[in-house]
Structure 1
Amino acid sequence: MSRAPSRRDVLAYAGVAAALPWAAPRLAHAESEGAPAAASAVEGDPRAFGPERHGLSAFGDLKYAPDFKALAYVRADAPKGGTFSHTAHNTSLNQSLTTFNTFNAYILKGEGAQGMALNFDSLMARAADEPDALYGLVAASVAVSGDGLAYRFRLRPEARFHDGSPLTSADVKWSLETLKAKGHPLVAQSIRDLDTVEAPSDDVVILRLKPNRTRDLPLTLAALPIFSRAWYATRAFEEATMEPPLGSGPYKVSRFEQGRYVAYERVKDWWAKDLPVAVGQWNFDQIRYEFFRDRDVAFEAFKGRAYLFREEFTSRVWATGYEFPAVREGKVKRETLPDLTPSGGQGWFFNLRRGKFQDPRVRQALNLVFDFEWMNRNLMFGAYKRTVSVFQGAPEMMATGPAEGAELKLLEPFRGKISDDVFGAPWTPPVSDGSGQDRRLMREAVRLMREAGWTITNGRATNAAGEPFAIEFLEYEPGLQPHVSAYIKNLKQFLGIDAAIRQVDAAQYQNRLKSFDFDVISLRMSMSPTPGEGLRQVYSSESAKLEGSQNLSGVADPAVDALVEAIAAAKTRDELNVACRALDRVLRSLRNWVPAWYKDTHTLAYWDAFGHPAEKPRYERGAPDVWWWDEDKAARAGVRP
């Protein structure tokens, strides 16, 4: 039994939320034909605004022209109607996979409801078939100053909140300033280089950035949710609340039961429904999230038609569980779609803030006694591949062979300050003999522990002070217990480590992660095709000290900091990839985690009531965004909306 996204799925490299699955370098832009050019100063002044543009991208490689009518991966005339019900498959910010107790999903407090991004519009919207491109949503166009430190967005006058009130630059200004001051730490950290927000008129907002702003900042700001300033005039933004907020997006909260389900109703007169970035999308009358404390219970609920769509993350269930009558009768379909996105790094992460994990020899020993080959064959039906890199799934960003050329140039200043193996072939987890107890690897692990000052006698590891080595694996659901138990067996038998699983409820789990109160956690970090600011959130020394940050391991290393900055400063994709490969080498040398597994497919099961385009968008699975309800299929499957 295994899950691809483990206990806490975070779009760590992506920035701040599920709505922001990219990171943008210093921007090059594609121009909109026929748009008027405007300037705020004399010609040649770096503060002058250039021409109005219909989109932003990392390296200027926009796929869609200014006059595009719809995104290539949608069915423009997709029918509207029906219900898409499912369970959550990832999290961001304060969200949980198993429960919720607030509709404020953009602060640190509470456990935010899944799907709240559906409630809000942003200045621009993502094209999911490009790595980092944005096109106008609330903003019809954007102009950029010559020095890249000011972005002027012209808002569409038809933009409206769900109560009919206009969405203006004042709302954009309030939203960005509030998120910077009171938003979740990940949001606040990612936009800290926003200097000022100006609203000179209702339809114009100007974002001024600090000179040393992060390369990602403009795209991050353009994709953040826009809140109603008037609605929050009588409410505290920083508080958790079960009152659904006023939004302007394609859906709004309709019905819910705290901790059990939340249903979003399609806004049939959504002001943006005919825009090119919206045509053919958000086709269901209702999108509903169901919450279950236990994945086996959730599967039984799916079989009983309590919800209709499921991405299967448990290899045992995928291999043996889909033999129930509805599958045999063709009422439930199974489909495997390619996952072409960088899968990121999944594994067990050590909390380096704790002294017992400070010695890299200890971390190496803990890696050696993890037998992936045995686990994959015996527990996961051979369904997975071994993760070796935090950039897994993005070969152009993964280090191979000895460091040379531009990679070596980036690393040379740290020679003598980082491990020598950074300059050779990058560290890769060892391949075991598949026995579950590879004696060669176990002997090496014991040797490393002893070198690090641990004495192993009578099946017990102690340090010079006689203190035992103990590890607690923090979990909030039982899905990985067989895997952790097999790992614990080797830790105890060969290294004398007193290891145990500590399972807590979802609320306690989130609180302990926010305060870094754990030894080891299972974690998957999805990665952007264009890494940038998100890497600071996961690996910078600054984020290691920030409560609620995604630097859960507590990595604080000058070489890592410098290479993250090199990635953020890259001016071309080639420069970006070189810096990523250099960072990959250093991160692998730290051994701050036990790399686990990944798969490069989406394994989907659903009651046969849906239609979808022949090809999914490259960087997303496409459901529910571009799927639709099929009345004829639903009738044959006996499914009602």
Structure 2
Amino acid sequence: MGLMGGAVVLALAASAVAARSETITVAHGISTFGELKYPADFMHLAYVNPDAPKGGEISEWTSGGFDSMNPYSIKGRAAALSSAAFESILEGTADEIGASYCLLCSTLEYPEDRSWVIFNLREDVTFSDGSPMTAADVIFSYETFLAKGLTDFRTIFATKVEKVEALDRHRVKFTFKPGIPTRDLPQDVGGLPILSKTQYEAEGLDLENSTLTPFLGTGAYRLDKMRIGESVSYQRNPEYWGKDHPLRIGTNNFDTIRIEYFSDYDAAFEGFKGGTYTFRNEASSIKWATGYDFPAVVNGQVIKAELASGEKTTGQSFIFNLRREKFQDPRVREAIGLMFNFEWSNATLFYGIYDRINSYWGNSFMEAKGTPSAAEAALLEPLVADGLLDAAILTEEAIMPAASGVRQLDRGNLRKASNLLADAGWIVGNDGMRRNAKGEMLRVEFLEDSPTFDRVINPFVENLRSLGVDAVLTRVDNAQMEDRTRPPKYDFDITNHFNSTNYFSGTELKQYYGSETADVSSFNAMGLKSKAVDRMIDVVLAATTLEGLTTATMALDRVMRAERFGIFQWFKAKHTVAYYDIFEHPETLPPYALGELSFWWYNAEKAAVLKASGVLK
């Protein structure tokens, strides 16, 4: 089997004009490095049950409300799972890293340097209204996202694609701009959601605006019912074009997926206990440790389970708004970080179920550990020579979050933080509060919309006040939270954020951490503008081997941690879930997805028993 696990490699004869040949790969998928796991004739994914029954409903919860069915606009609040209607040309799997397979295409073609890609689209793909999907829809989708998509996406993709063209009704070619890394670009463009050009134009839709009119997609689910701000449900399309596709066998098993909205975490938990919804991915440690003693759990009608997860950490952090002058000095950020006592929080508040996040690639082989290897140092040395990094990064261990003692206020860290703030010019006055030379008080506001974080943030606030920082917690509703943390306002000091990265990171790094997106991106909420980070991102994007990418990612991880733009929080390498005993799943779950909405299924006999007993409504 060849490099691409079943790919066909064709040598094209040289033309009379250009006396050269170009090796073209024609394949059913593409991998960042190495071979694909699944051959061209695979029947179904290894982790699904191909005989899983279809039917029933699964329901979950989320917080706040919604007023839009457009998931691609910063205007309004989109309904949960409103992007479920859309598919892309290529799709990854939950048991591989860096691999994408043809979903809306039958094959793709690309040269060795990946300077262009042709997608040979399937002729049987239809939108949920039955209309065919063609190359015109692909081109329209790309151009619409480029013109009206999220600003950070537009900023990055405008520098990548030279042109896109329809070779015929079912063949589309993307040509990439010369002189840029192309390793990930076929997968990047192959991952764009595909919209219906006909519907978009006929109904006068606008990707930039909030709307309750759902965009047509090719996906297995479409909007069924919605009660604005209360609930939304999606129904499996019985005429779904892809039900027999190898990537879809054993998936999309539920007839209906319903999402219930609750105002707060406690109300949502009570709703679950009462049977208002049926599946809960528990994020509260105190609920997990003490809340699951209600009768349905005791009687076995609700399953409480811990399921293994191989997913990397989310990068969940308290982030600083670096646009604020008081956070420009890294000593201030380091001092504030010293006042968060994870060890005390984990023992006292979290019942010991979490581990500390230490890295932006935590729980993966990409995480930087110890001192730099010779290969990492070789990448970092030019940044040190150019004055972008402190030379200590070459010899010292990768920066780790500060460890604290068993008491809420760690006196050793308090002294370190006090010295850092004093060195940064924030001096303690007679009232015990710190001010700078201008007489401005060091005030820090934590912005939060979840009451469940109160018990975590309040001790952090108390510790900061002991340091002389005028720290406060401000709780807002979901709408205010989105308004204040999104562009263009960025009206916050510190808030919670998921600093996400992929295992094999690519263009998304510029959206999350690049200087060019710092003032336009919802992802780069902290406003990071670091020349050292920018240059290391370019090194990561240019890596052509797995070894080179791993080394570059570890070096970037060191640089990002040295910037101290966030205070790492916590994670657990398992899924803590509770669900009514009406669902089943494959015995062995894939490492990179829980998949309850995808490859779990409904047991109608068990559901009938619970409904007859009155446990479920």
With the length of structure 2 as denominator, give the TM-score of the two structures: 0.94
Change (3 A) 1:49 1:599: same
Deviations 1:545-583 (A, max 9, x none): 2x2331122221111111111111111111111111111
The letter for the 2-side match of 1:397 is: M
Q: Distance in 1 between matches of 2:21 and 2:269?
A: 57
Change (3 A) 1:180 1:167: same
Q: Distance in 1 between matches of 2:7 and 2:410?
A: 64
Deviations 1:345-388 (A, max 9, x none): 22211111111111111111111121111111111111111122
**Residue in 2 aligned with 1:530?**
504
**Residue in 2 aligned with 1:512?**
484
**Residue in 2 aligned with 1:125?**
91
- 8 Å CA contact retained: 2:342, 2:404: yes
Q: Distance in 1 between matches of 2:19 and 2:492?
A: 53
Aligned structure 1 segments of 4 or more residues deviating by more than 4 angstroms: 31-49
**Residue in 1 aligned with 2:196?**
228
TM-aligned CA deviation for residue 108 of structure 1:
2.3
Equivalent position to 1:556, from 525, 529, 535: 529
TM-aligned CA deviation for residue 34 of structure 1:
6.7
- 8 Å CA contact retained: 1:316, 1:381: yes
Which secondary structure does the structure 1 equivalent of 2:50 belong to? coil
The letter for the 1-side match of 2:483 is: N
TM-aligned CA deviation for residue 159 of structure 1:
0.9
Q: Distance in 2 between matches of 1:596 and 1:46?
A: 55
Change (3 A) 1:64 1:164: same
Change (3 A) 1:608 1:402: same
**Residue in 2 aligned with 1:340?**
310
Q: Distance in 1 between matches of 2:117 and 2:550?
A: 27
**Residue in 1 aligned with 2:383?**
414
Which secondary structure does the structure 1 equivalent of 2:438 belong to? coil
Q: Distance in 2 between matches of 1:241 and 1:272?
A: 27
Equivalent position to 1:404, from 373, 377, 387: 373
**Residue in 1 aligned with 2:126?**
160
Unaligned runs of 5+ in 2: none
**Residue in 2 aligned with 1:470?**
443
- 8 Å CA contact retained: 1:343, 1:527: no
Alignment of 1:180-259 (within 5 A): 180-192=146-158, 193-211=160-178, 212=180, 215-234=183-202, 235-237=204-206, 238-259=208-229
Aligned CA-pair RMSD: 2.1
Aligned residues: 603
Deviations 1:100-154 (A, max 9, x none): 2111111222212221232122212221111121111111110113442211111
Q: Distance in 2 between matches of 1:616 and 1:39?
A: 46
**Residue in 2 aligned with 1:280?**
250
**Residue in 2 aligned with 1:16?**
none
Change (3 A) 1:36 1:465: closer
- 8 Å CA contact retained: 1:387, 1:596: yes
Q: Distance in 2 between matches of 1:35 and 1:145?
A: 10
Deviations 1:74-123 (A, max 9, x none): 111110000011125xxxxxxxx532211111122221222123212221
Change (3 A) 1:621 1:38: farther
Which secondary structure does the structure 2 equivalent of 1:66 belong to? coil
The letter for the 1-side match of 2:368 is: A
TM-aligned CA deviation for residue 190 of structure 1:
4.5
Q: Distance in 1 between matches of 2:138 and 2:216?
A: 14
**Residue in 2 aligned with 1:5?**
none
Which secondary structure does the structure 2 equivalent of 1:117 belong to? coil
**Residue in 1 aligned with 2:270?**
300
The letter for the 2-side match of 1:355 is: E
1:63 and 2:37 equivalent? yes
TM-aligned CA deviation for residue 213 of structure 1:
5.1
Alignment of 1:44-63 (within 5 A): 50-63=24-37
Change (3 A) 1:49 1:150: farther
- 8 Å CA contact retained: 1:351, 1:552: yes
- 8 Å CA contact retained: 1:107, 1:185: no
Change (3 A) 1:34 1:584: closer
The letter for the 1-side match of 2:379 is: L
The letter for the 1-side match of 2:525 is: L
The letter for the 2-side match of 1:252 is: R
Equivalent position to 1:175, from 123, 141, 145: 141
**Residue in 1 aligned with 2:336?**
366
Change (3 A) 1:462 1:34: closer
Change (3 A) 1:392 1:350: same
Alignment of 1:40-119 (within 5 A): 50-88=24-62, 97-119=63-85
The letter for the 2-side match of 1:67 is: D
Deviations 1:287-331 (A, max 9, x none): 111222201111110111111000000000000000001001111
Change (3 A) 1:34 1:50: closer
The letter for the 2-side match of 1:210 is: K
1:151 and 2:117 equivalent? yes
Q: Distance in 2 between matches of 1:42 and 1:110?
A: 57
Q: Distance in 1 between matches of 2:251 and 2:129?
A: 22
- 8 Å CA contact retained: 2:87, 2:193: yes
**Residue in 2 aligned with 1:450?**
422
Change (3 A) 1:341 1:419: same
Q: Distance in 2 between matches of 1:477 and 1:610?
A: 29
The letter for the 1-side match of 2:106 is: A
Change (3 A) 1:33 1:491: closer
Change (3 A) 1:318 1:471: same
- Point out which structure has higher relative CO (alpha carbons under 8 A, 6+ apart): 1
TM-aligned CA deviation for residue 524 of structure 1:
2.4
1:323 and 2:293 equivalent? yes
Which secondary structure does the structure 2 equivalent of 1:253 belong to? strand
TM-aligned CA deviation for residue 189 of structure 1:
3.7
Unaligned runs of 5+ in 1: 1-27, 89-96
Equivalent position to 1:290, from 255, 260, 270: 260
Change (3 A) 1:213 1:51: closer
TM-aligned CA deviation for residue 52 of structure 1:
2.1
Q: Distance in 1 between matches of 2:315 and 2:377?
A: 24
1:434 and 2:399 equivalent? no
TM-aligned CA deviation for residue 188 of structure 1:
2.3
- 8 Å CA contact retained: 1:214, 1:533: no
**Residue in 2 aligned with 1:583?**
556
1:632 and 2:600 equivalent? no
Q: Distance in 1 between matches of 2:277 and 2:435?
A: 51
Q: How much identity, in percent, do the aligned residues show?
A: 39
The letter for the 2-side match of 1:318 is: W
- 8 Å CA contact retained: 1:191, 1:217: no
TM-aligned CA deviation for residue 39 of structure 1:
7.9
Which secondary structure does the structure 1 equivalent of 2:84 belong to? helix
Q: Distance in 2 between matches of 1:560 and 1:200?
A: 39
Which secondary structure does the structure 1 equivalent of 2:188 belong to? helix
Deviations 1:586-608 (A, max 9, x none): 22222222222111111010001
Q: Distance in 2 between matches of 1:627 and 1:403?
A: 43
**Residue in 1 aligned with 2:470?**
498
- 8 Å CA contact retained: 2:357, 2:569: yes
Which secondary structure does the structure 2 equivalent of 1:116 belong to? coil
Change (3 A) 1:189 1:337: farther
Change (3 A) 1:421 1:45: farther
- 8 Å CA contact retained: 1:315, 1:383: yes
Q: Distance in 2 between matches of 1:41 and 1:171?
A: 32
